[in-house]
Amino acid sequence: MKELQTVKPFINGTFIDSKTDKYNDQYNPSTGEIISRIPQCTKEEIEMAISAAHAAYKGWSATPVLKRTQILYKLRDLIIQNMEELTHLVALENGKNWFEAEGDVLKAKEGTEQAIAAPSLMMGESLMDTSSGFDTVSYRQPLGVFAGISPFNFPSMIPMGWMTPICIACGNTIVIKASSTTPLSALRFAELYKEAGLPDGVLNIVTCSRTEAEILLTDARIKGISFVGTTDVGKHVYSVAAQAGKRVQVQGEAKNHALIMDDVPVKRTAAAIINAAYGCAGERCMALPVIVVHNAVADALVSELVELAKNLKIGPGYDKSTDMGPVISAKHRQSIIDWINKGIQEGAKLVLDGRECYPKGFENGFYLGPTILDYVSSEMTVGQSEIFGPVLCIKRVNSFEEGLQVMNGNRFANGSAIFTQSGYYAREFARHTDGGMVGVNVAIPVPVGMFPFSGHKDSFIGDLHCLGKDGYKFFTETKTVTSRWFDDIERKVTKVSTWDGTI
Q: What is the Rg, in whole angstroms, of the alpha carbon atoms belonging to the chain?
A: 25
b/e per residue, 15-45, with b = 16+ CB within 10 A? ebebebeebbebbbbbbbeebbebbbbbeeb
C-alpha distances in Å from residue 298, one per residue of 113, 118, 156, 248, 304: 42, 48, 38, 42, 10
Helix (H, G, I), strand (E, B) or coil at 371: strand
Cα 280 from Cα 84, distance rounded (Å) = 18
To the query of whether residue 170 is one of the catalytic residues in this protein, the response is no
Phi-psi region of 388 (alpha: psi -120 to 50; beta: other; left: phi over 0): left
Closest CA to 326 of 359, 350, 351: 359
Cα 496 from Cα 355, distance rounded (Å) = 79
Closest CA to 288 of 305, 310, 312, 313: 305
Q: How many CB atoms lie within 10 A of CB 124?
A: 14
Element (H, E) at 419: strand 415-419
Closest CA to 450 of 472, 431, 424, 479: 472
The burial class, CB within 10 Å (0-12 / 13-18 / 19+), for 134 is middle
Given the residues 41, 170, 208, 285, select the one marked as catalytic: 285
Cα 447 from Cα 468, distance rounded (Å) = 10
Q: Where are the alpha helices (DSSP H) in 116-159?
A: 118-121, 157
Q: How many CB atoms lie within 10 A of CB 90?
A: 28
Cα 202 from Cα 71, distance rounded (Å) = 12
**Residues 6+ away with beta carbon under 8 Å from 470:** 452, 454, 464
Cα 41 from Cα 213, distance rounded (Å) = 9
- Residue count (the chain): 503
Phi, psi values for residue 373, rounded to 5°: -110, 120
- Catalytic positions are 285
